[in-house]
Amino acid sequence: MEGVRRIAIFGATGSIGASALDVIARHPEKYRATVLAAGHRVDALIDLCRVHRPDHAVIADEAAFAALRDGLRDAGLSTQAHAGLAAMDALAASDACDTVIAAIVGATGLSSTLAAARAGKRLLLANKESLVLAGELLMAEVAAAGGTLVPIDSEHNAIFQCLPPGRPDGIARIILTASGGPFRGRSRAELADVTPAQAIAHPKWSMGPKISVDSATLMNKGLEVIEAHHLFGMPGERIEVLVHPQSLVHSFVEFVDGSTLAQLGLPDMRTTLAVGLAWPRRVASGVAGLDLIGQGGRLDFEPPDLDAFPSLRLAYEALHAGGTAPAMLNALNEEAVSAFLQGRIAFLDIPALVEDGLAALPPTRAESLEVLHAADQAARRHGQAAISRLT
């Protein structure tokens, strides 16, 4: 019999972190959260520690170490306090866990994701930006260490479930579904004045602010095309996107024999996380089965509107350009989304900044992590300068 699996959650205070802890808490005989890590919100992290009693808690913000240590002590917990990204990397690779849920938002998550991959941990990968930034290197580390990677993105998790184990052949196409976001059906002109509050009000999924804005621009789907390329070894030409407003079909795989497989379910990431925790077995996630009639009895599909949502086209172009282009696409997008959320730039400035940045910064070969980090930093500087000129 397997013992209790020890789970580290990087990004524990976020939306994915909450879903993961919900599933883990349903199965105390199978899973225990042993490491909880967050960015800046010490009080939220301490609250989670009170409930889940991990062995270790990490706050990325080094200035918050004393507050975390004292807060844990005042709460009467024996949880050990740590601070800084290096502490996360060390814990990801340590005996404190056998499974790592990578749920930090943004390129900051790459380092702990890589540490978990190198240590051969079971990796539940929600941090899609790390695959966009360094997909080849990350996949090579997973293969070299022999760990299991389960994608925690509903689309890629759907494809993962549809594929036989190993390196499957005979895949003709991958078709990623997209909800279309809160602005589906609007023209480009109708997007000029939309606010951050409108952009993060997603019709189907409850998610953190950054990915919610990415869903509104369709950059999220663009990042997912690049993610699918790395996870499943598919060229961009064989990855398609279909808008599916009901968000019940999470993606399709078409095989060369004409078969198409899909995975369906309610839009709730707890299903995805339960798949990652239990695979190849199944455990209850708290999500109900799918009542198609109750959901309206229909499944609709339409092509994406690349004129209103050019971010998706930009992501395909970056994937095609290769080298450092996807890393720069991601960095420019992170900077633009952050400025939009702060009310400094308009919604349509997001794709414009990404497009201008990619045109100004020619990609180079991406043979090392150092080269990728340098490209990420150069793109951020370029993006920040362009944002200051707009504000």
Nearer to ligand NAD, 86 or 172 (CB): 86
Nearer to ligand NAD, 65 or 255 (CB): 65
Contact window for Mg ion (CB under 5 A) among 145-153, 273-281, 297-305, 380-388: 145-153
Residue 13 binding partner per list ligand NAD, Mg ion, none, with a CB distance cut-off of 5 to 8 Å that depends on partner kind: ligand NAD
Q: What is the 3-state secondary structure (H, E, C) of the chain?
A: CCCCEEEEEECCCCHHHHHHHHHHHCCCCCEEEEEEEECCCHHHHHHHHHHHCCCEEEECCHHHHHHHHHHHHHCCCCCEEEECHHHHHHHHHCCCCCEEEECCCCHHHHHHHHHHHHCCCEEEECCHHHHHHHHHHHHHHHHHHCCCEEECCHHHHHHHHHCCCCCCCCEEEEEEEECCCCCCCCCCHHHCCCCHHHHCCCCCCCCCHHHHHHHHHCHHHHHHHHHHHHHHCCCHHHEEEEECCCCCEEEEEEECCCCEEEEECCCCHHHHHHHHHHCCCCCCCCCCCCCCCCCCCCCCCECCCCCCCHHHHHHHHHHHHCCCHHHHHHHHHHHHHHHHHCCCCCCCHHHHHHHHHHHHCCCCCCCCHHHHHHHHHHHHHHHHHHHHHHC
Q: How far is the CB of 156 from ligand NAD (least distance, A)?
A: 9
Q: How far is the CB of 125 from Mg ion (least distance, A)?
A: 12
Distance, CA of 341 to chain centre:
18
Q: By the criterion CB under 6 A, which residues form the site for ligand NAD? A: 11-17, 38-39, 41, 60, 103-105, 108, 126-129, 153, 205, 207-208, 210-211, 269
Nearer to Mg ion, 89 or 153 (CB): 153
Nearer to Mg ion, 155 or 268 (CB): 155
Which residues are within 8 A (CB) of 304 and not within 5 positions of it... i.e. 6 or more apart?
A: 178, 180, 218, 221, 241, 242, 243, 312
Nearer to ligand NAD, 46 or 103 (CB): 103
Interface size with Mg ion, residues (CB under 5 A): 3
Residue 207 binding partner per list Mg ion, ligand NAD, none, with a CB distance cut-off of 5 to 8 Å that depends on partner kind: ligand NAD
Say how many CA atoms lie within 13 Å of 259 toward its Cβ. Answer: 8
Q: How far is the CB of 112 from ligand NAD (least distance, A)?
A: 8
Q: How far is the CB of 176 from Mg ion (least distance, A)?
A: 8
Residue 327 binding partner per list Mg ion, ligand NAD, none, with a CB distance cut-off of 5 to 8 Å that depends on partner kind: none
> Which residue number places its CB atom closest to ligand NAD?
14
Nearer to ligand NAD, 247 or 324 (CB): 247
Q: How far is the CB of 70 from Mg ion (least distance, A)?
A: 38
> Which residue number places its CB atom closest to Mg ion?
153
Pick out residues in 150-189 that bind Mg ion (CB under 5 A).
Answer: 153-155
Nearer to Mg ion, 111 or 154 (CB): 154
Q: How far is the CB of 60 from ligand NAD (least distance, A)?
A: 3
Nearer to ligand NAD, 106 or 383 (CB): 106
Per rule CB under 5 A, is residue 129 in the interface with Mg ion? no
Residue 200 binding partner per list ligand NAD, Mg ion, none, with a CB distance cut-off of 5 to 8 Å that depends on partner kind: none
Side-by-side strand order, sheet with 249-255: 239-243, 171-178, 249-255, 260-264
Residue 20 binding partner per list Mg ion, ligand NAD, none, with a CB distance cut-off of 5 to 8 Å that depends on partner kind: none
Residue 179 binding partner per list ligand NAD, Mg ion, none, with a CB distance cut-off of 5 to 8 Å that depends on partner kind: none
Contact window for Mg ion (CB under 5 A) among 148-156, 157-165, 197-205, 334-342: 148-156
Provide the binding-site residues for Mg ion, judged by CB under 5 A: 153-155
